[in-house]
Structure 1
Amino acid sequence: MPTVRLEGSLLTDWDAFHTESQKVFGFPDFYGRNMSAWIDCLSYLRDEDGMSKFRLKPNETLIIELHDTELLQKKAPEILEELRFCVSAINERYDDYGEKLALILRLC
């Protein structure tokens, strides 16, 4: 399964979160740098929309490895909470369309 690694130690604030996300997911230059845009970019991983560098096959799941989770929980718990919520919301979209869930958030 394709895997992307997010370094929790780098996610010190929202600006850093969106900078790192844009880099590791390959979001386009016009990425809106907010969680609505983050959700939009990862909601079409099985389509050819160019919103990320990942394109999943019908039965694939993108694993998001979040490293230094404990540190992130201490320094920016709101980022961790929102990330969990948004991964769930994205998977709910896929489920609504009868597709396999697209994301797994692995806390490391």
Structure 2
Amino acid sequence: MTIAKVSLDCKNIRDWESFHSEFAQVFGFPAFYGRNMDAWIDCMTSLDAPDDGMSNVHCEPGKVLTLELANVASFAVRCPAQYKALIECAAFVNWRRLEVGSPSVLALSFWYTRES
């Protein structure tokens, strides 16, 4: 499926296990997904390459997929390591692609308020 935006509710993330389960479910990662951040990076790096078989969600080549996150503030407090890894690894996905001459593929969108 080719789309421009994916929504993920961070309220379902409580630990590393639920982090990887949520992303695997929302993005349709393959059965061999390693459930670690290296594997997450590999899957997200291929968002514009359906033939790689790394997810069921794709954007058009040369386009950016926006990952819209809900309930980020409570996630950041509840799971600071997962929150930090998500931010850093999303940035790394784009850096890795730019290093080999490919365009960025992933944008994060969220509103971080103390009330959320």
Residue number in structure 1 paired with 2:24:
22
Equivalent position to 2:55, from 52, 55, 76? 52
State the AA in 1 paired with 2:104: L
Q: State whether structure 2 residue 106 is matched by structure 1 residue 96.
A: no
With structure 1 as the length reference, what TM-score do the two structures score? 0.92
Residue in 1 that maps onto 2:110: 107
Which structure 2 segments of 5+ residues have no match? Answer: 112-116
Structure 1 equivalent of residue 114 of structure 2: none
Residues matched between the structures, number: 108
CA displacement 1:17-61 (0-9 Å, x = unmatched): 000000001101111111111011111222211110123322211
Partner of residue 89 from structure 2, selected from 72, 86, 90:
86
Are the aligned partners of 2:58 and 2:65 in contact in 1 as well (CA < 8 Å)?
Answer: no
Q: Within 2, Cα distance between the matches of 1:41 and 1:20?
A: 14
Match of 1:34 among 36, 56, 68: 36
Compute the RMSD of aligned alpha carbons.
1.2
Deviations along 1:39-84, one digit per CA (max 9) or x if unpaired, are 1111122221111012332221111111101110111111110000
Instruction: Find the residue that maps to 1:70 and give its secondary structure.
Output: helix
Query: What is the letter of the counterpart of residue 18 of structure 2?
Result: A
One-letter amino acid matched to 2:16:
W
Identity %: 37
